[in-house]
Structure 1
């Protein structure tokens, strides 16, 4: 492959109209989300003098809707027309942002908080609708490559997003940042308008919402692959929640450096994610999603153990780099397995069950990690996280056998 050329697989994938539109929409959404999150966070810190409760409310407004509305949003995404749902959600987010602008000075930082909350809630409806379109219109052999390209985009914004959000806020202020957010969501809606019309069968489902919710739980329970992924999600969520709030203490206590040096660990992780996303996209058709997930879980286990025990900056940076390098593969493996093992009519509800499972377990251990750190030390907590990652890896091994089974998708009845 010559320098500057695009692999044949990616060229074929980009000829798919749905892939082009969904990736371009994701680009605009990432711009809007990162500018929103960083600008609102800095604005609230400035207005409240760094009040910890106010800052935590920003995080709550961003993440609580994932836990509270993911299953509801997924259920309605399975019932409603996907294109109309996505366009409607993006337009509503843009409209709300523009309505909030005149109230910024009068209502203070609570208006910015409301913009974060509303757009985060609407995302719980639009994201599963996009997954439905991806499942329905992208051939299965290209699903993993498509997910890899999406994760590469996400990884790029893990590096560029904070820079962009900070630059917009510091250069132009919160009003401009909210305006950029609204414009980005509006641009996404305009791009999505180029999708072909929804099919006649979309949005025609009868029956109650509660019946659809119950059917979603039955579907997951009857699907061995999804149950195994649920176990992996829970283990990984418990592990991440245990150590994520403690990274700054790795810098100050294990490495003996000022807390500002945390940026180098985050930078190593972000650069590795970008490289890992590109590698995963290039090798996506050659590596099974189960293999991506298993390798990622095992490398994460070893890296987390290294971070918890290391007192050497170079070794810790290498471990952080390793975690970031395999993270896109983990995410691509999970997304591919979910799409491969789920019928299009259940994609929203399946995501609505698995995502809160991960978020709920992560929040549970995140809530006690500081308390445990005060009574123990970093080493036992990172060791416990390593064990949890290893338990998560155990849920991956049966997926290889499930892949060979004649029917791994279960029965929704």
Structure 2
């Protein structure tokens, strides 16, 4: 662990990720509250936020992953932050004229840019962190993101309620610029993959790599189930607060805070013990516990019980995240990380987008209980493909095991 905290590249990338996560949470809370105010709490309008957040991820992650494998990762991440900052400048200008719908563009642009930055961040970590420290590095990154599940909603709610939507946009601008400046301190890396193949050929290579691995195919099915399940309920969290618990919409920050604490603690526990556990069994138990907790959230009519259930469900999610993320980073060749990420991510995002687009309509025509029950059913279906993923506890042989699995599938 001490080795990681002396690793300059890892610390810089982690710091940049934290700044971006804080910016995203400020954006999420500000836009959510503003749209709720403008539309008198329309479920469809709230669902549209999630749709616009994930639609570009579905489209651009395929291209972004392939380009991230070609481009210099340091320059790619810096350019991403600069483009995000420029988009915020444009939004601030238009917002002052009264066209509040421009806020949807902030979500749209940020989602596009992240599809180039995220795989580049993974490549830098993979390139600069030794294999035996990768699982700890991933757990620290997950814990950092969890920290801003706690701080992000609180900071975002405070800025919006105290100073308004304009101040929230200025905060985003400052955070993206600071992140870009921080990334300039990364060690020079002239590495850029030389290739004579077309972009389409690179994308196809990523698809073929996944198609030849049974484990990656099964993991894709798990992602589809979890994505559809999450999409069905992610826009409806605010209605747990306003309808089930009868509280003000701003109380959503406490629910997000409980989730963040659960992910933070769960990530720490997972980092310490997950390598010693049966990975398949841990993933199965994690998904099952998450399904039970999800149903418990909607059945609860007590604020503190809801917070406790949210906390426990997030511990389960932390184990799922660490196991799957470690598998993807350590088992895939470095030069294919972007393309494999760009192959699997659209499946998750596409299913999540489908769920989010149906969430508001389903809730209007049925009830929040029915939507959550459907979500839990889909999540439990993900256990079936999860049982067929071939995990290994040896973290020091990253890609060889997956490559041998791919080779055996061709014979």
TM-score of the superposed pair, with normalisation by structure 1: 0.84
Q: Distance in 2 between matches of 1:371 and 1:110?
A: 21
Structure 1 portions without partners, runs of 5+: 1-9
- Local SS of the residue matching 1:395: helix
Q: The residue matched to 2:117 in structure 1 has which SS? A: helix
Q: What value does the CA root-mean-square deviation take over the aligned residues?
A: 3.3
- Which residues in structure 2 correspond to 1:8-407 (within 5 Å)? 10-46=1-37, 55-106=46-97, 108-200=99-191, 202-245=192-235, 257-258=245-246, 260=248, 263=252, 265-283=255-273, 285-287=275-277, 290=280, 292-307=282-297, 317-369=307-359, 382-400=372-390, 407=401
Residue from 397, 402, 405 that aligns with 1:408: 402
Most deviating of 156-165 and 243-252: 243-252
> Structure 1 residues 81, 298: closer, same or farther in 2, change over 3 A?
same
The DSSP-based 3-state class of the residue aligned with 1:199 is: coil
> Please, which moves more after superposition, 158-167 or 295-304?
295-304
Q: Tell me the CA shift for residue 384 of structure 1.
A: 4.7
CA distance in 2, matches of 1:108, 1:25: 31
Q: Secondary structure at the match of 1:106?
A: coil
Contact 1:289 1:336 in 2 (8 A): no
Q: 1:375 to 1:392 in 2, by over 3 A?
A: same
The 3 A distance-change label for structure 1 pair 390 and 55 is closer
1:390 Cα deviation from its structure 2 partner: 3.1
Q: 1:58, CA displacement in angstroms?
A: 3.7
| Equivalent residue, structure 2, for 1:5 | none
Deviation at 1:243, TM superposition (A): 4.2
Report the secondary structure of 2:197's partner residue.
coil
Moved more, 233-242 or 378-387: 378-387
Report the counterpart of residue 3 of structure 1 in structure 2: none
Deviation at 1:176, TM superposition (A): 2.8
Question: Aligned partners of 1:396, 1:95: CA distance in 2, in Å?
Answer: 42
Distance 1:290 1:178, change over 3 A: same
CA distance in 2, matches of 1:183, 1:250: 33
Change in Cα spacing, 1:249 to 1:30, as seen in structure 2 (3 Å) is: closer
CA distance in 2, matches of 1:307, 1:50: 21
Equivalent residues of 2:265, 2:315 under 8 A apart: yes
In terms of mean alpha carbon deviation, does 206-215 or 299-308 score higher? 299-308
128-137 or 277-286, which deviates more = 277-286
Higher mean Cα deviation, 82-91 or 320-329? 320-329
Whether the 8 Å CA contact 2:279–2:393 is kept in 1: the answer is no
SS in 1 for 2:21: helix
Measure, in 2, the Cα distance between the counterparts of 1:311 and 1:301. Answer: 18
Note if contact 2:153-2:256 (Cα within 8 Å) is conserved in structure 1: no
- Counterparts of 2:74 and 2:279, CA distance in 1: 28
Residue by residue, what CA displacement relative to the aligned partner does 1:206-245 show, whole Å, maximum 9, x if unpaired? 2211111111110110122211211111121233334445
| Structure 2 segments unaligned to the other structure (5+ residues) | none
The DSSP-based 3-state class of the residue aligned with 1:194 is coil
Which moves more between the two structures, 333-342 or 317-326? 317-326
Distance in 2 (CA, whole Å) between partners of 1:180 and 1:246 is 26
User: What is the number of equivalent residue pairs in this alignment?
Assistant: 401
- Structure 1 CA distance, aligned partners of 2:200 and 2:137? 33
Q: Which moved more, 1:302-311 or 1:129-138?
A: 302-311
CA distance in 1, matches of 2:93, 2:368: 47
Structure 2 vs 1, CA of residues 127 and 289 (structure 1 numbering), >3 Å: closer, same or farther? farther
8 Å contact from structure 2 (residues 296, 309) kept in 1: yes
